[in-house]
Amino acid sequence: MLDRLDKQPPDALLALIALHDADTRSDKIDLGVGVYRTADGATPVFEAVKAAEGKLLEQQTTKAYLGPEGDMGFVKALMPHIFGADCPVHNRLGGMQTPGGTGAVRLAAALAMRAGVTHLAVGTPTWPNHNQICADLGLDIVGYPHAAPDGSANMQALRQALRGMGKGDAILLHGACHNPTGIDYTPQQWDEIADLLAETGVLPILDLAYHGLGNGMEEDAYGVRAVLAKVPEALVCYSCDKNFGYYRDRVGALYALGANADDTQKIMTNAFSLARANWSMPPDHGASVVRLILEDEALTKSWLDEVASMRARIGEVRAKLAEAGQAGAVDLKPLGEQKGMFAMLPLSKDQVITLREEHGVYMAGNGRINIAGLTLDNIDKFVGALAAVS
């Protein structure tokens, strides 16, 4: 019976990891999957993570089951960083641990469906897994263009999308460091979005996967906080993959804002039952380590310093790309204004393949690059390769 299944292509983004690894050229450049790299091209374990892992090894006395909500100490310790130390809606917020940000997005989409949502508005292009998760759940994505032709956020399209929807509809918004365009909303735009959401009653699902890699920990949380202050209900998906360098250990969280504390509890019981049916309970190791970091002042400082240095390096590479100005037909100047690890280059599929095959430059098929794959040593080669293909 199982032979009836059609063969599926490998995930296009994750397949790049193996393709890049198999390339023997020493000057190859990996701008594929979203993994941060230092100026030396490494993705080291954070010092705070190493220290907290040591502590965990010493202190942990049991590996017995936790519930579907996972490590609630971890969930609570993250909250001041996401929602602010004096979060005005604190009493209406519930949370749980999830396997990475993907687990949180999956639960948020499933929760919205359970509540009757049939389609999800999303600015396009978006992170490919948003589409894959919704397709798997049977939730239709209705796209509107996220970027305006001048490289800023297309507020007109967002306004139109929101005004065409109402109570019972949902929209997925990237909290900061938009993946793949790097085009974030300004605080003023977030204020307008929050008002529009409150006015229309559309449920916001906010995906915050790159917290701290844009303008700062507080600054990157502006959108989430502005929206939560205005709307009755919201879902927030959080990933520690990038800002704790915890990619493979799958550390994430889902938060729900209900209209009142009872509603929040009701939403969370639904989220717990969906988690139980999907993965039963999330993996503990990474979340315990993040909790130990956040419970310790010195480790928290070390973590925040590391995030600040990542942010600074990304900013430095962006500035250097913007300075290069033009690479053939590709205008690199807007990259200086954009935020986070990603940018979209206007390249055809063929140009992306030529960059890979002839120049050893690996990027997603839609022209998305991971800025953190560039270093001061390989930028010139990259700009030269871009000029050659475009």
- Catalytically active residues are 127, 207, 242
332 binds ligand LMR (CB under 6 A): no
Report the distance separating Cα 219 and Cα 153, nearest Å: 17
Quick one: which of 253, 307, 284, 296 has its CA closest to 46? Answer: 307
Site string for ligand LMR, 150-189 (x = CB under 6 A): -----------------------------x----------
83 binds ligand LMR (CB under 6 A): no
Torsional class of 168: left (φ above 0), alpha (ψ -120 to 50), beta (otherwise) = left
Residue 241 or 306 having the CB closest to ligand LMR: 241
Residue 84 or 367 having the CB closest to ligand LMR: 367
129 binds ligand LMR (CB under 6 A): yes
Q: How far is the CB of 223 from ligand LMR (least distance, A)?
A: 18
Burial class (CB in 10 A: 0-12, 13-18, 19+), 331: middle
Q: How far is the CB of 179 from ligand LMR (least distance, A)?
A: 5
Residue 129 or 354 having the CB closest to ligand LMR: 129
How many residues touch ligand LMR under the rule CB under 6 A: the total is: 6
Q: For residues 209-228, which are near ligand LMR according to CB under 6 A?
A: none
Residue 129 or 366 having the CB closest to ligand LMR: 129
Report the distance separating Cα 169 and Cα 127, nearest Å: 20
Amino acid occupying residue 154: N
Q: For residues 265-294, which are near ligand LMR according to CB under 6 A?
A: none
Contacts of 324 (CB under 8 A, 6+ apart): 332, 379, 383
Quick one: which of 295, 302, 100 has its CA closest to 208? Answer: 100
| CA distances in angstroms from 48 to 80, 178, 321, listed in the order given | 19, 26, 31
Report the distance separating Cα 173 and Cα 223, nearest Å: 9
Q: Which one of residues 36, 46, 74, 127 is an interface residue with ligand LMR (CB under 6 A)? A: 127
Report the distance separating Cα 141 and Cα 91, nearest Å: 32
Report the distance separating Cα 32 and Cα 312, nearest Å: 20
Q: How far is the CB of 227 from ligand LMR (least distance, A)?
A: 22
Q: How far is the CB of 129 from ligand LMR (least distance, A)?
A: 5
Q: How far is the CB of 255 from ligand LMR (least distance, A)?
A: 19
Q: How far is the CB of 64 from ligand LMR (least distance, A)?
A: 30
Q: How far is the CB of 203 from ligand LMR (least distance, A)?
A: 23
Q: For residues 23-42, which are near ligand LMR according to CB under 6 A?
A: 33-34
> Which residue number has the CB closest to ligand LMR?
34
Q: For residues 292-311, which are near ligand LMR according to CB under 6 A?
A: none
Report the distance separating Cα 238 and Cα 98, nearest Å: 9
Report the distance separating Cα 379 and Cα 386, nearest Å: 10
Residue 14 or 298 having the CB closest to ligand LMR: 14
Residue 177 or 235 having the CB closest to ligand LMR: 177
Which sign does the torsion angle of CA 161, 162, 166, 171 carry? positive
Residue 34 or 84 having the CB closest to ligand LMR: 34
Q: Which one of residues 13, 105, 203, 363 is an interface residue with ligand LMR (CB under 6 A)? A: 13
Interface residue list for ligand LMR (CB under 6 A):
13, 33-34, 127, 129, 179
